[in-house]
Amino acid sequence: MGIFKPKAWLSVVTDLDKTEPRSYKETLLHPRWKQAMLEGHEALIQNNTWPLTPLPQDHKVIGSKWVFRLKQTPSGEIARFKARLVAQGFSQDYGIDYFETSSPMVKLITIRLVFHYFISQLGHLIT
């Protein structure tokens, strides 16, 4: 019949410079995300986040996963690539798999608000 329509293949290309990876495998393909993972792991080691201990027979291993975030400046430019290793806490039992939780993160804006509050209260005390 002489009619020919070429097949068009849809190709999806993701730009990992502007998106957060969804899997560990995606991360390994991009040098900046891979470096962020290495930095996150090194921070855990330097801070002595956890000690390595043998697994008791009556306990189960708690899984972990990497969480990836792009940190941006107020103008929307990428400031840094951040990778964090987090425990899959939904499978933990209090008192068995962990005894305490901590989140030592504080943002600069929080400190500024607290200082502003105390200074404003101090002003009321002086007058």
Does 66 reside within a domain? yes
Does 18 reside within a domain? no
Helical H runs in 56-107?
Answer: none
**pLDDT one-digit tens code per residue, 18-44:** 788 888 888 888 899 999 999 999 998
Does 56 reside within a domain? no
Domain, as residue range, for 70: 24-48+61-126
Does 8 reside within a domain? no
Does 17 reside within a domain? no
> Cα separation of 20 and 27, whole Å?
9
**pLDDT one-digit tens code per residue, 64-86:** 888 899 988 888 888 899 998 88
Total count of domains within the chain: 1
Helix count (H) and strand count (E) of the chain? 3, 2
> Cα separation of 46 and 34, whole Å?
18
Does 77 reside within a domain? yes
Does 31 reside within a domain? yes
Model confidence pTM above 0.85: no
What is the chain's Cα-based Rg?
Answer: 24
